[in-house]
Amino acid sequence: MRDVYFTLALLVWSGYRINAISALSSVYLVRPGDDVVLPCNVTFNLHTLWFRQQSEDMIHLTTTARDNLNNRTIDEFHIDDNDRLSLYLDNHTKSISLKIIRVKESDQGWYYCTEWETGAVHFGKGVRLAFTAAPLPAWYQDSMIALAPSIEVP
């Protein structure tokens, strides 16, 4: 979490205005090999970036940019193991969700999406991806914990 605060401080020091930071976060519990869709709670306007934090490392995973000239989006992947990642525009929330297929141990960690606009960075709430050792009972529901559903995404 320290790296997130350092990144925020660096952005503010650089002249960017941080507009939205949510204190609430979600935990997605998955099993190795599952597929998961991580939601972003900031609206896509120009550039959405996804980051994963593990221990002390903040890893820039993806960038989605709007190409207004050609009326399309451009996705860039910034890690070697990117064949398991995909991005899609959620038309309901107008945000860019991150899909990870065949989740493996190294995927565990905190995920953050950000929306970058000229002069401002909007951070979405953190999403923690973790393994569950056994199926949780159906009665165990908490507003801060969500079992990640296997969702069919185009």
Q: Which residues contact 27 (CB under 8 A, 6 or more apart)?
A: 127, 128, 130, 144, 145, 146
Q: How far apart are CA 103 and CA 110, in angstroms?
A: 14
Q: Which residues contact 26 (CB under 8 A, 6 or more apart)?
A: 125, 126, 127, 128, 144, 145, 146
Q: How far apart are CA 125 and CA 130, in angstroms?
A: 16
Domains of the chain: 2-147 (2.60.40.10)
Q: What is the pLDDT of residue 25?
A: 62
pLDDT tens digit sequence for 51-78: 999 888 899 999 999 888 888 889 999 9
Mean pLDDT of 126-141: 71
pLDDT tens digit sequence for 94-113: 899 999 999 999 999 999 99
pTM: 0.71
Torsion angles phi and psi, residue 51, rounded to 5: -125, 150
